[in-house]
Structure 1
Amino acid sequence: MSLSRYDSWQPIPYDPDFNGPSKHRSCTDIICLLLFIVFIGCWAGIAIYAFTSGDPNMLLVPKDSWGGRCGLDEHVKDKPYLFFFDLTKCFGPFVPFTGCPTPQVCVERCPSEYFYFDNLPNQYQKLICSYGVVANSSNAQQLVNDKKCAPWYLNSQPFEKRCVPVIDRTLFETIKDKIDPQNLISSIKNLKALSQAEQVGQNVVDDLISSWWQILIGIGIAVLICIIYIMIMRWLAAPMVWLSLLGVIALLVAAVYFTAAKYIELKDQTDSTTTQNDNQNVFESYATKKDTWLVLLIIASIVLAIVLLILIFLRKRIILAIALVKEGSKAVSSVTSVLFFPIFPWILQIGVTAFAICVALYLATTGKPLYQIRGMTDDCSTTCTDYKNGDLCEPDSFRNYNCMNDHMNSCQNLTCKFITMENPALYPWLQAFNVVGFLWGTFFSSALGQMILASVFATWYWTWNKSNLPFFAVIEASGQTLRYHIGTLAFGSFIITVCRMIRIALEYVDQKLKKYDNEVTKAILCCCKCFFWCLEKFLKFINRNAYIMCAIHGKNFCSSAKDAFMLLMRNIVRVFVLDKVTDFLFFLGKLFITVGVGALAYLFFATDITGFDNSGLNYNIVPVIIIMIITFFIATMFFNVYSMAVDTLFLCFLEDCERNDGSSDKPYYMSKNLMKIFGKKNKIN
């Protein structure tokens, strides 16, 4: 009997012709497949238009005061770096938004020395001047007075193609008597803040470079531990799960004890005894603050309490979940290639993301660049009447504007500044289309991986003799999915895309309405965002199970989603075991592996126990953090395969329970362990 011809609220009837995933399939959701192909074609067309019409350099390359793009435009092609005449004007709070109010010119190279113009012989040769201005011994002082040449500059290095000063003691000795004290103090504060931030980042990069091979070894150990952990779980699933639970509890107890001890140690100390000194790095400064340890203590205590409560009240559910995890371990171990299969959907997702970012960047630079007059003062406006603030300008004509060049002293801040791109009228729609393409593409990539894994694990479950499982099960599942079910994947991923676009629209509306401070509007938007967040989570759950049913029966998305939903609803109590408890167990497994590898890395990098030489590192904790982050992603990749295996086997188990009764004519396909846990038995003579 066909699965589609029975009452949805009744158990699935026995079908003597059913022996696992359908071998006779046809293409599903063809209309969605065609729409998806058309969409990809349109997206490719938009990309071609963007790549041929856009120029990201309009946004990324620094521009001088006359709108010239350093290193690109013909008149500054050999001058790739941007130089600022007076850096003390470039560190105000609004400079990132309004621009630096000082002349800026493109130069061949950044200054490599400290210079202050004192009108001494031959000093004119060191002057950096505006375009078309040539200094000599007779006019150098006048050019400096007219702000056509920079009166001083500092030893600088290129940073994002901009000349940024090098901060050291020589700097202060050189300029302490030559620049206005107030401007100097303000500038130095900002420069020190910028320098400190850059120094921390540079130190982190240096640590990563100097310890890259140790980090690679740590990552290799993490992969090895994950593989060993999963292999062991095939035979010792229950002990490994309980070990993970107890290990996480032990680690949390240790964290609570350690943070409490540090807080008690620091709480009686005054601020003066824990003041940060100049030699402390940013990590050490936070480690000496009692509030840091108090926050960590509270977080560790709350997490420990939650884990203990779950362990106490859900211990029976955990036993049932462990049985499913053990079945998943057997399936994963039987087809070990599935452990590394998620790498390919991830690569596909990364490719989609990179493509969407490139298209967005190129689209943003299509059209005509707009330049606007900035810095017009009252003195300048009385002599140069052709322009006023806010007027549009053209860089070429502005650069040759005689009035400004003749009155440089009063018009020194007058600039023709790039403000934005005058994009085509369709630009917002093209960018929206690109966003939809990005979301649809990433959700589709994830769905493709889920269905292929579901097909492999469903085949494993419904194969009576496991030794008969196809050797190239992953390849066969991939070919089957790509040949018959692309339309189903496109349909399911599009539903999630629509929901996500609605959420993005709500966030946009919320940002626009914040200035009105309407409590009713805030409440309505909050409810809408919460509703669509919950709806997206529910749809992802339905989609995941629909892909599993499609992998088994080869039906279209709607039929598969309906069958999966009704099967789960008829077994709603058992669903909680899978959807909540197993996810919790997998999370603890990932946490246990991550913290364990992190503790091992900490012994090597941050202690002297192992005798490992860490003298070359600025921050010993940096390699540890990097290893832990990568370990968590690696563990997530492995456990996502496990999660898909458990979800698939659970649906197969529920269908097995409804189709069969354990008799010789209708034997259960489930393992003896599952039959024992759920009180089932095959009555085969």
Structure 2
Amino acid sequence: MCCCCRKKKDLEVKFSGRHCTDPLCLVLFAAAWFVSIIVLIAAHRTADMASLSNGRDYNGNVCGSQTNPPGSVVLNCPTGVCDQVYYPRLTEDVSISLAFNTSFSMFGICLPSCPSARDVVCTYNYTDNKGLPPFDDVIQCTNGAYRLTHGELCANCWAVPLNTSSVMNRCVPVVTTVRKTTARCVMPESPADPTDPAYIDPSSPSCLAQSVEETETYTRASSEDVLTNALVSVQVFVNRYMSDIRSCYLVLAVGVAVSFVLGFVFLLLLKTCSKFVIWCTIVLGLLLCVLVTLLCFQQAQLLPVNQWFNFLVSTGDEYFHWGNLTFENIVENLPDYLASNDRTVVYWEIAAYVMAAFTLVLLFVVIAMGHSVNVSVEQMKKATIVLARTPSILLVPMVVTVVNVVLFCFFAWAYSLTLSSSLSLSDYTDEVLRSIGAVVSKNDTAMLCEDPETMTNCTFISRAIEKGAPSDVVLGFWHLFMFLWSSGLVNAIGVMAVAGTVGKWYFKKEDERISITTLSQALLCAVGYHLGSAAYGALLISLIQLARAVMLYIDNRFKKSQSGNPLVKCGMKCCHCCLLCLEKCMKYISRNAYILVIMRGSNFFKSSVESFSLLASNIGAVTVLKSVSTLFIWMGKVANIVISTLVVQVMIRFCPDWITHPIVSFVGPTVVIVILSYLVSTIFIQVFVIAVDTTMLCYCEDLKKNGTDGMDKKAAQAAQAAQTTPDAAPAETAAPAETTAAAPAEGAQ
């Protein structure tokens, strides 16, 4: 890269010869995982997942569960495992709940399989004593007179109106949809009856125009069954849009490919014309502020802006032919609430002075920060260069996302096991300390367990915790904390892998090449030497996130008490806001610390202090860089989503061969492509943000190591050495030339 980077060995990024950083945090992370595994094993031994996934019958028994009371009908299901639950009287349950203002409970019956239409479902006692009655008898229960004479039958048996299917072990009505398309020739007019001699086949050449009618018929329950009809409506809605999505899978694949291409185009545009775009945006913003200021002065009747504007328009009309464009016409088209009158002229005057001051301040800020804008643009160009040379970096956020999804599924499964287990928090404490006792034979302090020899009845700590919250709440927060910590560790490794590759490229030697091997070396270095630092930063962030979760839990628990005390409610909101700001700040500090950890091999705390010092010493350039990069990020995301969505819409409308059958609505495919294109653009943006932060830290470190004169001083020394030593001229003059081209921002500094 730059000659100063090649001259100074301490700026070169080396992935070998390092030592492990923050090993204590890594040990703590391993111990936390050890506790989680012990809790998982203990919960798995006594877990009954059916109690979570299956429904309950009218006796309160869990369908298909082996933990029901002995002798229960569900446990002794004569036809096998009765793990399906059917609710035969949903409407009655809702009506009773609303009429008597009671908690809503559904009358369920456990069955071995979901019933079909025209089946009969009865309570357990009625079935055991009298068996299942005929469908024709049960269907007459809708008649009031028959219901009075057959009270026992109608109170214990129900007819199934629709076919049902199992959804999470709940029998849900199935909608049978029939689509029918009818075509009739209308030019010339043809009768609808095909047997009529004058009938004309719509597909025949003699038919010039045809009328096509599409009908959709589906079966639902009676109008009185509100809940069943609601389920049917939801099912019809979901099936309709899922059918549209399945029909457009090829078009959606093309849209995702276009989104990836647009991601690379975004990087190319940043490399080629980012300076032009950002300065055009700044100039247009200044012009907009000037126009708003002039409008305020005109409405406040302080300056004759209309005369100046009309003069400019009349002068330009000779060349551009604008027509009858006057300032008065523009003002007349303004909304009524922007009109100027005797009551609002004072407010317009205040707005005029405020806008004038704001415009002047903005102008001076742009002039003062012009060099910082150029520096920011150059850093973004460097980030795009390294991404273009090593596109394999884009695999990092994909792998990180997959690992995070796996972690989420694992801890969700582990927490569901603890919920379905009958163990208490004291039992889990015994299991953990008993496992520790396999390594530590005796609890010499005897302060955790009543029996230190066998590590049993270790309830002192767990009893203290259980007094404050139930066991499922404590275990829920523990699994949430472990997921946040593990996910933060994975994210930190991803940041280190990308930052190590970018830093290696920034300070590389002339004969070095950056490839996927460099990315692999950075990843191995992060895992082999700096896993403890990653765990350190992830621990700090996860603790703040856990505090936010606890505050949210407390807020929801005491929601009613806050309604009568606005001061407490305001205090809660302030706590949420402060914790959110603290989390954002810690994430930013940690990301920069990870960058210096992988580049210099220092521990997390030292890297945090050093990165904060480097950024604080160049606060102007850093602020402008974040503003400029944020602008480009939003522009890139919005453009990617809009263009990908438009491509899919155009293909659906004008390329019917790419879809398997005509779709009902554009909504389903549009929502899917918006989500997918957002995820694809996020992959590029995540890598781009890390690369920009890395190049900015490298730039700040370069200035600190080589002085504020930066490249100019080095170039002058190289030129002087070339004049005094002719033999060394080629080598010494070539390096500054390459450096100036590669890092113009440092030269300008």
Q: What does residue 287 of structure 1 align with? A: none
Letter in 2 for 1:491: Y
Structure 2 counterparts to residues 187-586 of structure 1, below 5 A? 187-231=224-268, 233-238=270-275, 316=370, 319-367=374-422, 426-465=471-510, 467-469=512-514, 472-516=517-561, 517-586=564-633
Partner of 2:128: 132
Shift of 1:147: 5.1
State the one-letter code of the partner of 2:394: L
What is the alpha-carbon distance in structure 1 between the residues aligned to residue 92 and residue 738 of structure 2?
75
Residues 613 and 334 of structure 1: is their aligned pair in 2 closer, same or farther, counting only changes over 3 Å?
closer
Whether 1:21 aligns to 2:13 is yes
The secondary structure found in structure 1 opposite 2:117 is coil
1:473 to partner: Cα distance? 0.4
Aligned equivalent of 2:159, options 131, 152, 155:
152
Amino acid at match of 2:76: H
CA distance in 2, matches of 1:564, 1:581: 20
CA distance in 2, matches of 1:670, 1:429: 60
Partner residue in 1 for 2:686: 640
Q: Which residue of 2 aligns with 1:653?
A: 699
Distance in structure 2 (CA, Å) of the matches to 1:93 and 1:505: 37
| 2:21–2:529 contact (8 Å) kept in structure 1 | yes
Mapped to 1, the partners of 2:177 and 2:6 lie a distance apart of 86
8 Å CA contact 1:656–1:669 kept in 2: the answer is no
**Shift of residue 339, structure 1, vs aligned partner:** 1.6
Contact 2:116 2:163 in 1 (8 A): yes
Q: Which amino acid aligns with 1:214?
A: V
Cα displacement string for residues 574-615 of structure 1 (whole angstroms, at most 9, x for unaligned residues) = 11022232122122112111111111112122x348886686
Distance change (3 Å), C-alpha of 1:669 and 1:84: farther
Aligned equivalents of 2:508 and 2:661: distance in 1? 57
Does structure 2 retain, via aligned residues, the 8 Å contact 1:129–1:149? yes
Contact 2:48 2:421 in 1 (8 A): yes
The 1:74–1:604 alpha-carbon spacing in structure 2 relative to 1, beyond 3 Å, is: same
Instruction: Give the stretch that moved more between structures: 55-64 or 25-34.
Output: 55-64
Deviations, residues 463-493 of structure 1 (Å, cap 9, x unaligned) = 1327443650011001111111000000001
Contact 1:64 1:106 in 2 (8 A): no
Residue number in structure 2 paired with 1:62: 55
Q: 1:243 to 1:56 in 2, by over 3 A?
A: farther
- Residue by residue over 1:278-298, the C-alpha shift from the partner in whole angstroms, topping out at 9 and shown as x without a partner, is xxxxxxxxxxxxxxxxxxxxx
- What is the distance in 1 between the residues matched to 2:511 and 2:693? 19
TM-aligned CA deviation for residue 635 of structure 1? 0.9
Unpaired runs of 5+ residues, structure 2, are 66-73, 139-145, 179-218, 284-358, 425-468, 719-734
Deviation at 1:196, TM superposition (A): 1.9
Separation in 1, partners of 2:170, 2:156: 18
Are 2:604 and 1:599 equivalent residues in the alignment?
Answer: no
Equivalences, count: 534
* CA deviation profile, 1:367-412 (whole Å, cap 9, x unmatched): 189xxxxxxxxxxxxxxxxxxxxxxxxxxxxxxxxxxxxxxxxxxx
Cα displacement (A) at 1:552 = 1.4
Amino acid at match of 1:152: A
- TM-score (norm. length: structure 1): 0.69
Q: Which residue of 1 is the match for residue 85 of structure 2?
A: 82
Asked if the contact 2:54/2:170 (under 8 Å) is kept, the reply is no
Conserved in 2, the CA contact under 8 Å of 1:324 and 1:650?
yes
Partner Cα distance (2:5, 2:275) in 1: 33
- Measure, in 2, the Cα distance between the counterparts of 1:480 and 1:101: 58
Match of 1:617 among 660, 663, 676: 663
Q: Residue 89 of structure 1 aligns to which amino acid in structure 2?
A: E
Residues 310-341 of structure 1: per-residue CA shift (max 9 Å, x gap): 99986956554322211111111122211222
- Equivalent AA in structure 2 for residue 338 of structure 1: I
**Quick one: which amino acid aligns to residue 235 of structure 2?**
E
**What code does the residue aligned with 2:598 have?**
A
Q: Which runs of 5+ in 1 are unaligned?
A: 1-11, 116-125, 177-183, 247-308, 370-423
Distance 1:332 1:40, change over 3 A: same
1:612-649, CA deviations, whole angstroms, 9 ceiling, x for partnerless residues?
Answer: 66862122231122112101111110121111111001
Change (3 A) 1:631 1:311: farther
Partner of 1:417: none
1:189 shift after superposition: 3.8
Q: Secondary structure at 2:165's aligned position in 1?
A: strand
Q: Once the two structures are aligned, what percentage of the paired residues are identical? A: 20
What's the offset of the Cα at 1:205? Answer: 1.5
Structure 2 CA distance for aligned equivalents of residues 175 and 208 of structure 1? 24
Q: CA deviation at 1:550?
A: 0.9
CA-atom RMSD, angstroms? 4.0
Pick the aligned partner of 2:171 from 159, 163, 177.
163
Report the CA distance shift for 1:243/1:110 in structure 2 as closer, same or farther (over 3 A): farther
Q: Which residue identity lines up with residue 134 of structure 1 in the other structure?
A: K
User: In the aligned structure 2, how far is the partner of 1:200 from the partner of 1:169?
Assistant: 12
SS of residue matched to 1:619:
coil
Distance of aligned partners of 1:110 and 1:144 in 2 relative to their CA distance in 1, 3 Å threshold: farther
TM-score, structure 2 as length reference:
0.64
SS of residue matched to 1:64? coil
Q: Could you tell me how far apart the structure 2 residues matched to 1:169 and 1:622 are?
A: 19
| Bigger Rg over Cα | 2
1:89: Cα distance to partner? 1.1
The 2-side partners of 1:97 and 1:201 are apart by 31
> Aligned-pair distance for 1:127?
6.4
Show the 5 A alignment for 1:111-126. 111-113=116-118
Over residues 335-380 of structure 1, what are the superposed CA-to-partner deviations in whole Å (9 max), with x where a residue is unaligned?
Answer: 22112222111111111111111111111111189xxxxxxxxxxx
Amino acid at match of 2:47: G
Q: Secondary structure at the match of 2:129?
A: coil
Instruction: Assess if the C-alpha contact under 8 Å between 1:457 and 1:649 holds in 2.
Output: yes
Per-residue deviation at 1:551?
Answer: 1.2
Judged with a 3 Å threshold, the aligned counterparts in structure 2 of structure 1 residues 101 and 427 are, in CA distance, closer, same or farther, namely closer
Q: 1:466 to 1:42 in 2, by over 3 A?
A: farther
Query: 3-state DSSP class of the match of 2:157?
Result: coil
In 1, Cα distance between equivalents of 2:382 and 2:220 = 74
Contact 1:328 1:642 in 2 (8 A): yes
Alignment counterpart, residue 26 of structure 2, candidates 13, 33, 36: 33
| Corresponding residue SS for 1:163 | strand
